[in-house]
Amino acid sequence: MLLLCIQKESRGRRLTEWENGYFWAVWQDLRSRTVGQGFLAAAGSLGAAVSLLSGRSVLGLLSSAAVGIFLLILGQITDGGIGEGDGWFFIVTGFFLEPTENFMLFLSGLIFCSVYSLAYMAASFIGGVGVRQKRLPFLPFLLPVGLWLVPS
């Protein structure tokens, strides 16, 4: 029983730290279309330390970070078509979230971004404006999902 309370408390602490970092990263990406490397390194170090101290295994952390690793590989294959910061962001969130939560965060953000992109393309097509070189920051599309994920 005591172990369960400790696990719940450390999970709550991880989510509180995750919330602060999450909203800061979304704000940075929205404002400047980059997420600071120093911020990601600090958040990743904090997340890994808290997760390991709360009893998560290294294999558990790697499985949670798999989404980010996949995005980094895709970014290399597409020669920067996917921002490196997005991959590192999902590695960091993997330290705070369970694998299914991190994957759900990514997939839901992808759905929101896709819907927005289709609407933007349709409006641009109707208005006669080209959108071929348009680049969107991805992290702001995670905001609705992150707000929903935090209380759970």
The 10s digit of each residue's pLDDT in 117-138 is 888 888 878 877 776 677 788 8
Confidence at residue 3, expressed as pLDDT on a 0 to 100 scale: 27
Helix extents (H) in the chain: 2-32, 37-53, 58-64, 66-77, 84-96, 99-127, 143-149
pLDDT digits (tens, 9 = 90+) for 8-37: 344 454 455 556 666 777 777 777 777 777
145 pLDDT above the threshold of 70: yes
Structural contact between residues 117 and 140, judged by C-beta atoms closer than 8 angstroms: no
Does the pLDDT at position 111 exceed 90?
Answer: yes
Is the pLDDT at 147 greater than 60? The verdict is yes
Residue 107 has pLDDT above 90, yes or no: yes
Could you tell me which residue, 68 or 127, shows the higher pLDDT? 68
Residue 103's pLDDT is 92
**What is the pLDDT averaged over residues 57-78?**
91
Query: Would you place residue 149 in the very low, low, confident or very high pLDDT band (cuts 50, 70, 90)?
Result: low
Q: Mean pLDDT, to the nearest integer, of 47-54?
A: 84
From residue 27, alpha-carbon distances to 20, 32, 90, 120, 130 in Å are: 11, 8, 16, 21, 27
